[in-house]
Amino acid sequence: MFKLEKSVAIDRNNDVQWAQGKVAVQGIAMSVYSFYVDGLLIDTGSSSLAQEFQSFFNEVDIQQVALTHAHEDHSGNAIWIQQQKEVPIYIHGEAVDECASDSNLPLYRKVLWGERPGFSAKPLGATLQTNRATWDVIATPGHTTDHVSFYNRATGEMFTGDLYVQTKTKVVLDEENIVHTLASLKHLLNYDFETIYCCHAGCLIDGRTKIIEKIDYLEELEGDILKLHKQGFGVEEISKSIFPREYPITKVSGEQWSSNHIITAFIQHFSKESLR
């Protein structure tokens, strides 16, 4: 069987507290964060770390929960919070039905993150209200179509779910559309913020700079991909040239995570644009 190593660390920046859960299995290590500020819990972590996260949930006074998207590493403990705390849980309206039933995940995701039991969610509106602030709910599709970011108008804190994760993205999930991710990153810059709270990279004081760097990286990548595409190279050839390394997650996931999804999305976008 798979031996999963787990741990959790609690920390804070100003009024934002968080639990950072870590899982490691077969050489793949990942962190996932759950944030708390002003009565609001943003994302719940994974059920593979249920006990670790529960100690954090019991330390803070959760009045409501907002989820950046439905993935199991963000919503895996929603059912526990619902049963124990009886507080509302909000998510993009499109994901409400999906959240009502248990997840049906491929094995590698079940091993890393555990199951995501069904729970009852309410659809997010355009804003959220906490005790001391009004928040903007910003549609930031790309990683998933239901992905949102949360912006605290009073403090300028930006919670970006899985929009950022890392600057130099090399592989994405098959459901991610990197063209939309790029547009969402640019859209975020319309808001006045510096620090971001990312569900896999944590609190980034220079978050705005990181997002600009990611935009630059993706635009450069798009240029490189389209150059090879226009020269007549196919997806596999472009992939070998631009992403020569093989990433363990690609094999483990049966190519659900792959560099090819990045290449395909940019090419499809280019083809659609040229038909206009």
Q: Which residues bind Zn ion (CB under 5 A)?
A: 71, 162
Residue showing the smallest CB distance to Zn ion in the complex: 71
Cα dihedral sign, 227-231-237-241: negative
Shortest distance (Å) from residue 73 CB to Zn ion: 6
Q: Which is nearer to Zn ion, 71 or 210 (CB)?
A: 71
Q: Which is nearer to Zn ion, 96 or 133 (CB)?
A: 96
Shortest distance (Å) from residue 187 CB to Zn ion: 18
Shortest distance (Å) from residue 142 CB to Zn ion: 11
Distance CA 49, CA 58 (A): 14
Nearest CA among 72, 120, 79, 77 for reference residue 96: 120
Shortest distance (Å) from residue 173 CB to Zn ion: 7
Q: How far is CA 213 from CA 93, 168, 210, in A?
A: 31, 9, 5
Distance CA 57, CA 104 (A): 26
Q: Which is nearer to Zn ion, 175 or 220 (CB)?
A: 175
Q: Which is nearer to Zn ion, 42 or 238 (CB)?
A: 42
Q: Which is nearer to Zn ion, 143 or 210 (CB)?
A: 143
Half-sphere exposure of 67 (CA within 13 A, CB side): 32
Shortest distance (Å) from residue 91 CB to Zn ion: 13
Provide the terminal-to-terminal Cα distance of the chain, rounded to the nearest Å: 53
Query: Rounded to 5 degrees, what are φ and ψ at 240?
Result: -60, -35
Residue with tokens 């309206």, as numbered in its chain: 93
Q: Which is nearer to Zn ion, 94 or 224 (CB)?
A: 94
For helices 260-275 and 178-188, angle between their N-to-C axes, nearest 10 degrees: 80
Shortest distance (Å) from residue 229 CB to Zn ion: 28
Using an 8 Å Cβ cutoff, are 245 and 270 in contact? no
Query: Rounded to 5 degrees, what are φ and ψ at 23?
Result: -125, 145
Shortest distance (Å) from residue 86 CB to Zn ion: 26
Q: Which is nearer to Zn ion, 37 or 198 (CB)?
A: 198
Using an 8 Å Cβ cutoff, are 89 and 121 in contact? yes
